[in-house]
Structure 1
Amino acid sequence: MSSKSCQIENVVGRYVNFTSLGIDYRVYFEEAGSGPVIVGLHTAGADGRQFRHILADEALLQNHRVVVFDLPWHGKSLPPEGWWTQEYLLTTEAYSSLVEDFCDALALDTPILIGCSMAGSLVIELARRNPHRWRAVIGLSGALKVEGRFQDWSLRPDINAQQSVASWTHSLMSPHSPEQSRREVWWIYSQGGPGIYRGDTYFYSQDFDLRATAHTIDTGTCPVYLLTGEFDHACTEADTAAAIAAIPGARGGRMAGIGHFPMAENYPLFAEYLAPILSEIVA
């Protein structure tokens, strides 16, 4: 018999069924903790495992309930019925509605949103659409417009997308982040469905553009925090600085020593940036 101790984490995973824009979905989510709700939104082509460190942060969970879900087509959330009849291209309207309808399905009362990469941009749009729905939004690697991420090469039959997409995104991380964590980000990306990363970046780089409307966001009702790692070359700190400048009352800026996936690639360092923001929001 092994003498190694057994530890069961206090994370509960379940499924919720709901309808969004007339489409029925069965969505997997995990949660832990109690208190004001934080909803974690994963990056393009990945899933909620990117937030596993937050779900295991006992200090944070003493004061917050953390809920993380896999978008349909991602992780444990299967595509909806008939998914094979059309190309997967995520749009701003579909993405926004999915997040809103998921939160309604779980009756989450004015949660705090934390989104990274494409979700870091989406949370800005969600604050614009209805600031009263959210206690605050925190965008990681989010901007008003991100160019150049929507590419067709991952669909080519002579390219192993599971390796190439994972390696392409791996370059966005800080070389100073722990290797174990960087390898974990790579592994999650290697498991995405065919064309799903490309379909997500359609939203991120093609459909989404807040440059003309960012000035209308009411940060007095819904505070907006935007943070980007210094090693991120997809959404640069300059991109995020431009968003902060365009949104009256938005706050945030550069995170030293981190890249594009702060909550996954170096959670202990990211927690140093996150904790004071959460304290300010709750206060």
Structure 2
Amino acid sequence: MEEFTFDGTTMAFVRQGDCGPPVLMIHSAGSSHLIWTAQLAALAADHRVYAVDLPGYGASDRPQSGYTLERYTALIDAFVREQSLEGAALVGNCVGSAISLTLARRHPGRFRAVVAVNPLTESTAMHGDWRQAARVTRGVSDRTAHALSRWHTPRWFARRTARSWFFSGRAYRECPYIAPLSAGFPARALIYLVRDLTAFAALDDWPDRAALPPLCVIWGNQNQVLSAVAGHTLNVTALHPDRAEYLDGCGHVPMLERSAAVTAIVTEFLAAHLPADVIPDPAVPESV
């Protein structure tokens, strides 16, 4: 894997594809770039595809702090600039979707399209099956949160967490990435993200929706982590996506559980909204 360093934190990433418009893929909390393996391979034929490991996960650094929407957004923003990915499409899952939507909202002219899978907002989190755990985590004192953050999630906990991402037990058992995704990670990565949920409330209100680039939203109807029902409401009342897909038989990781369907949706959407002839040449510096 390659590395990118931002303000002392090193983030690992992979890239595939030698030509075509750029695509940046950002994973969900608790996972890594591995969830996008099938989509990476499919998109690389016609795109330059990048997939990151957010700090706290995979091969990236695991710092003591920085697990907030603002910090992650600043990191990805810097990565986009460093890699000359202006004009890219952003594809995210959960917190990766939140980062993508936040960036597109702040800099709509820099991105050609967004695919948001199971977007994490305050409403989708607090109406999901994990809402009680989220309420408890948000309510503990700073001292308790700091103490808990030093705990490294053991393999059994990571595997149980990964199991909750899947609707189908068979899909979970047959997923080739469960072992590396269940290696464990610092609890602080989840604790501080949950404690930052208030920041995600901004994603439930989109007064400037017209300024966003073309948007596709995908939900797993049996998501046990975030609420697909709240996600449907979010689509209708705020996001107004150009394309909305609700996939039966899958939960929080439809790119693994319904891989072919998600790959087809992403490929079709990018083909319609990411034309190669309008993407700036990465060798040409951004105008001032």
TM-score, shorter chain, exceeding 0.5: yes
1:45 aligns with 2:36: no
Alignment partners' CA distance in 2, 1:236 and 1:243: 10
- Check whether the contact 1:39–1:67 (CA below 8 A) recurs between aligned residues: yes
Corresponding residue of 2:281: none
Question: How many percent identity over aligned positions?
Answer: 19
Q: 2:206 aligns with which of 200, 208, 214?
A: 214
* TM-score, L = length of structure 2: 0.77
Deviation at 1:211, TM superposition (A): 5.5
Q: How does 1:1-80 map to 2 (within 5 A)?
A: 13-17=1-5, 19=6, 23-33=7-17, 34-57=19-42, 60-79=43-62
* TM-score, L = length of structure 1: 0.79
Q: 2:229 aligns with which of 223, 228, 238?
A: 238
Change (3 A) 1:158 1:133: closer
Q: Which has the higher helix share?
A: 2
Q: How does 1:241-256 map to 2 (within 5 A)?
A: 241-247=232-238, 249-250=240-241, 251-256=243-248
Deviation at 1:230, TM superposition (A): 1.2
After superposition, what is the alpha-carbon deviation per residue over 1:34-63, rounded to whole angstroms, capped at 9, x for unaligned? Answer: 211110101112221222222222xx3221
Alpha-carbon RMSD = 2.9
Show structure 1 runs of 5+ residues with no match: 1-12
Aligned residues: 257
- Check whether the contact 1:90–1:202 (CA below 8 A) recurs between aligned residues: no
SS of 1:39 mapped into structure 2: strand
Corresponding residue of 1:105: 82
Change (3 A) 1:99 1:53: same
SS of 1:135 mapped into structure 2: strand
SS of 2:104 mapped into structure 1: helix
- Check whether the contact 2:165–2:225 (CA below 8 A) recurs between aligned residues: yes
Q: Which runs of 4+ in 1 moved over 3 A?
A: 149-162, 179-183, 200-203
After superposition, what is the alpha-carbon deviation per residue over 1:219-249, rounded to whole angstroms, capped at 9, x for unaligned? Answer: 5x51121111111022222222122123364
Show structure 2 runs of 5+ residues with no match: 138-144, 276-288
Deviates more, 1:246-255 or 1:70-79: 246-255
